[in-house]
């Protein structure tokens, strides 16, 4: 089993939205490294933490499970979508996203400041200078520690 941290902007889609709908395609990712992780590394049953970014309260807010690791992102085919890619075709899609399902919402947000201050997370990709990835692997130990902090 793999463990992931997945960043999302709550103004677009939040942990509350995921709780309401139950399952959702994680769409709109336009980074080749992340795309490759979806296709090559992510597996059904993997667990992920939902991280709210680009908002007032930045941090980890809940848990998700990967249902299907790599489905073609339909937005790439929609010319009216901000995620449209004219070079992508149904036969040869460029962009993928996992279908994820809600597991739990934390009782309290685990803020970025807490993660930065805790030595257990010093090697996390999240804290590395220049990191621009919206999805990345974390260790089981990091995952469990963040869940414990949130609950």
User: Using one digit for the tens of pLDDT, what is the confidence trace for 68-113?
Assistant: 999 999 999 999 999 999 999 999 999 999 999 999 999 999 999 9
* Pairing assessment for the beta strands 23-25 and 47-52 based on DSSP bridges: unpaired
34, 69 Cβ separation under 8 angstroms: no
So what's the pLDDT on residue 121? 97
Query: What pLDDT score was predicted for residue 132?
Result: 85
Contact partners, residue 29, CB within 8 Å, separation at least 6: 35, 38, 73, 95, 96, 97, 134, 135
In the chain, where the domains are located: 3-150
Two structure tokens written together for 82: 């901000």
* pLDDT score, position 131: 85
Res. 139 pLDDT band, cuts 50 70 90: very high
Is 19 strand, coil or helix?
Answer: helix
The answer to pTM > 0.85 is yes
If one counts every other C-beta atom within 10 angstroms of the C-beta of residue 121, the result is 20
Average pLDDT for the chain: 96
- Is residue 103 within 8 A of residue 47, CB to CB? The reply is yes
User: 3-150: what fold?
Assistant: ph1033 like fold (3.10.590)
Closest CA to 27 of 116, 87, 85, 96: 96
């Amino acid at each position: 089993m793999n463990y992931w941290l997945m960043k999302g902007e709550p103004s677009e889609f939040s942990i509350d939205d995921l709780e309401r709908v139950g399952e959702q395609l994680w769409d709109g990712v336009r980074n080749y490294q992340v795309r490759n992780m979806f296709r090559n590394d992510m597996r059904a049953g993997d667990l992920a933490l939902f991280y709210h970014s680009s908002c007032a309260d930045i941090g980890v807010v809940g848990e998700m499970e990967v249902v299907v690791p790599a489905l073609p992102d339909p937005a790439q085919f929609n010319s009216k979508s901000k995620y449209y890619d004219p070079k992508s075709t149904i036969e040869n899609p460029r962009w993928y996203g996992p279908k994820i399902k809600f597991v739990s919402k934390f009782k309290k947000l685990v803020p970025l400041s807490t993660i930065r201050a805790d030595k257990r997370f010093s090697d996390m990709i999240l804290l590395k200078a220049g990191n621009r990835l919206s999805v990345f692997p974390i260790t089981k130990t990091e995952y469990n520690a963040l869940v414990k902090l949130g609950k």
